[in-house]
A = this chain, B = another copy of it.
Amino acid sequence: MRLERSLFTDENCSIRRTLEIVGERWTLLILREAFYGVRRFDEFARNVGCPRDVLSARLKTLVANDILERIPYREAGHRARHEYRPTAKGRELLPSLLALMEWGDRWAADPAGPAVAVTHGECGEAVEVQLRCAGGHGPLDAADLRIQPGPGAKLAA
């Protein structure tokens, strides 16, 4: 892609589009909590530490984009409230979060080690994010990849 990069617009870049949805401050931390099993507003607020009005706006965006689903519940003696659960579309953001976590574990963790351990439930071994190809090769790194315009590439104006 090196030589022709500047010929193409990034208007329909999938990284840009994903960040337009989940790239706002706090949003990925809210999703992190959802993966940890958090469902309720007060618990998101406490664990993420963001202002309540911001949390409310971010949850709204996540629901509008079908990443979290808003489900009513009522506890005895209280008014109806809502909880938030990841949709199938939302669950597919897990590799993005784990990739960011893995980089932080490696380059920004405390001397004691990572705050969170992610393992394969069945065998107990550590989980990692890998780049692999449909031909069965991998793990791959940057030098192994070829990056080219795809079927949706658009010329810059």
Contact = CB atoms under 8 A, between A and B. Distances in A.
Given A49-B10, A115-B12, A133 B123 contact: yes
Contacts of A99: 95-96, 98-99, 129
A144 to B, nearest CB: 6
Q: Is the interface of A mostly helix, strand, loop or mixed?
A: mixed
Contact of A14 (B12, B108, B137, B154): B108
Given A108-B21, A118-B146, A129-B130, A29 B15 contact: yes
A96 B106 contact: no
- Contact size class for A? 35 or more
A114 to B, nearest CB: 4
Contacts of A141: 91, 94
5 contacts: A15-B104, A17-B104, A94-B131, A116-B149, A128-B133
Given A91-B141, A92-B107, A120-B144, 20 more contacts: A5-B38, A6-B43, A17-B108, A18-B104, A19-B29, A23-B28, A91-B142, A96-B96, A109-B152, A116-B147, A120-B135, A120-B140, A122-B137, A123-B135, A125-B135, A126-B133, A127-B132, A127-B134, A130-B130, A130-B138
